[in-house]
């Protein structure tokens, strides 16, 4: 595995790999790699000849009162993990090289960024879209892999890829979880033992709502109430949002129809740590909606 830190050098390498006919996958990360990240890298290996893992804690996607400064960083460990998982190039640029003096461009994606993470973290998706566009131009990939863990991020990036004619495919990988369902996250390292034990309630509440959907419930307000009620059984956890929406548009209809895909999304504060998770489900054909609305 080679470590590259200069954008121009990475771009030249990517260009010559393309000329040789190689297929390239990029896996963008902010480092402090865990099995969620390495599952993306492994998927990248299956898809393409070359895997470029990017490692960059991107300042523009953090709000002023967020955890940019204390975000966990451990280059030696990341190097090992990235190499073991099958990375060919680890692109680890400096801030001043990604945002050169005088940079003056931000990408602002509207609509899909209005709610959930977009409204809770103003400016977050501008930072994400901007850095991802830069990484696409630097690594020239055929495939880019993102985790379902950051669901709204995927919709935002897909929107940008369509709108800007980026010539690549976005691939989504499933969320890797701990034994109690907690989604792996670099931020889990912030949790005390107590907070870690409480965190299982996030997946539990997603799972309970999923089961109700399988049994035929598809009224949005009822589903939202279920998510809230389960989360509230652990009063120390503060809910930012716990909502379901159309999985493609994030619209919030009163009722989801059979065959429609619902995304259940949760963001909570567990102590000072903000955690997010989600679950995707298709409304079954025999959903009770038929009973409620079509008889
Ligand atoms: P991050 O380093 O947190 O910016 O995440 C980099 C990539 O890894 C993003 O595409 C995330 O969605 C993905 N990712 C983070 N956590 C997980 C997880 N538990 N399972 C699968 N992918 C993940």
- Distance from the CA of 217 to the center of ligand 1, in angstroms? 30
Contact 8, 84 (CB under 8 A): no
By most ligand atoms within 8 Å of CB, the mutation choice from 36, 186, 278 for ligand 1 is 36
- Distance from the CA of 185 to the center of ligand 1, in angstroms? 7
Q: What is the pLDDT of residue 201?
A: 98
Q: What is the pLDDT of residue 295?
A: 45
Task: Sort strands 2-4 and 273-282 into parallel, antiparallel or unpaired.
Answer: unpaired
Nearest CA to ligand 1 atom 18: 36
Show the 3-state SS of 227-274.
HHHHHHCCCCEEEEEEEEEECCCCCCCCECCCCCEEEEEEEEEECCEE
* φ, ψ for residue 50, nearest 5 deg: -130, 130
DSSP-assigned states of every residue in the chain = -EEE--HHHHHHHHHHHHHTT--EEEEEE-SS--HHHHHHHHHHHHH-SEEEEEE---GGGS-TTSSTTTS---HHHHHHHHHHHT-SEEE---HHHHS-TT--------STTSSTHHHHSTTHHHHHHHHHHHHHHHH--SEEEEETTSHHHHHHHHHHHHHTT--SEEEEEPPPB-TTSPBP-GGGGG--HHHHHHTHHHHHHHHHHHHHHHTT--BHHHHHHHHHHHHHTSTTEEEEEEEEEETTT----SBPPTT-EEEEEEEEEETTEEEEEEEEEEPPTT-THHHHH--
The active-site residue, picked from 34, 37, 124, 228, is 37
- Distance from the CA of 56 to the center of ligand 1, in angstroms? 13
Q: What is the pLDDT of residue 196?
A: 98
Q: Which two tokens stand for residue 7?
A: 């954008």
Q: Which atom of ligand 1 is nearest to the CA of 31?
A: 2
Q: What is the pLDDT of residue 292?
A: 57
By most ligand atoms within 8 Å of CB, the mutation choice from 29, 71, 152, 183 for ligand 1 is 29
Q: What is the pLDDT of residue 286?
A: 81
Residues across the chain: 295
The pLDDT tens digits along the chain (295 residues) read: 999 999 999 999 999 999 999 999 999 999 999 999 999 999 999 999 999 999 999 999 999 999 999 999 999 999 999 999 999 999 999 999 999 999 999 999 999 999 999 999 999 999 999 999 999 999 999 999 999 999 999 999 999 999 999 999 999 999 999 999 999 999 999 999 999 999 999 999 999 999 999 999 999 999 999 999 999 999 999 999 999 999 999 999 999 999 999 999 999 999 999 999 999 999 999 877 656 555 4
Torsion of CA 42, 39, 116, 164, to 10 degrees: 0
124 noted as active-site residue? no
Q: What is the pLDDT of residue 277?
A: 98
* φ, ψ for residue 196, nearest 5 deg: -60, -40
- Distance from the CA of 20 to the center of ligand 1, in angstroms? 30
Tell me whether residue 88 is exposed, middle or buried, using C-beta atoms within 10 angstroms of its C-beta: 0 to 12, 13 to 18, 19 or more: buried
Q: What is the pLDDT of residue 291?
A: 60
Nearest CA to ligand 1 atom 22: 147
pLDDT per residue as tens digits for the range 162-221: 999 999 999 999 999 999 999 999 999 999 999 999 999 999 999 999 999 999 999 999
Q: Which atom of ligand 1 is nearest to the CA of 175?
A: 20
């Amino acid at each position: 595995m080679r470590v590259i830190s200069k954008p121009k050098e990475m771009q030249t390498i990517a260009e010559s790999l393309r000329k040789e006919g190689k297929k390239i996958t990029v896996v963008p990360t902010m480092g402090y790699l865990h099995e969620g990240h390495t599952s993306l890298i492994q998927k990248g290996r299956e898809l393409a000849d070359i895997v470029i893992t990017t490692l960059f804690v991107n300042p523009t996607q953090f709000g002023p009162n967020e955890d940019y400064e204390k975000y966990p960083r451990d280059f030696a460990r990341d190097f090992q993990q990235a190499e073991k998982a099958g990375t060919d190039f680890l692109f680890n640029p400096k801030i001043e090289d990604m945002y050169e003096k005088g940079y003056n461009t931000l990408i602002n994606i509207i609509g899909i960024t209005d709610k959930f993470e977009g409204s809770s973290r103003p400016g977050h998706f501008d930072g994400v879209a901007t850095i991802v566009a830069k990484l696409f131009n630097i690594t020239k990939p055929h495939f880019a892999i993102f985790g379902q863990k950051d669901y709204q991020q995927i919709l935002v990036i897909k929107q940008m890829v369509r709108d800007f004619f980026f010539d690549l495919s976005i691939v989504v990988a499933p969320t890797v979880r701990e034994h109690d369902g907690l989604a792996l996250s670099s931020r889990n390292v912030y949790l005390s033992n107590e907070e870690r034990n409480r965190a299982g309630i996030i997946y539990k509440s997603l799972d309970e709502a999923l089961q109700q959907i399988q049994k035929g419930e598809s009224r949005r307000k009822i589903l939202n109430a279920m998510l809230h009620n389960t989360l509230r059984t652990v009063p120390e956890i503060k809910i930012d949002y716990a909502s379901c929406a159309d999985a493609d548009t994030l619209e919030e209809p009163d009722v989801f129809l059979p065959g429609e895909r619902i995304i259940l999304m949760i963001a909570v504060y567990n102590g000072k740590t903000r955690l997010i998770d989600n679950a995707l489900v298709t409304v079954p054909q025999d959903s009770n909606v038929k009973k409620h609305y079509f008889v």
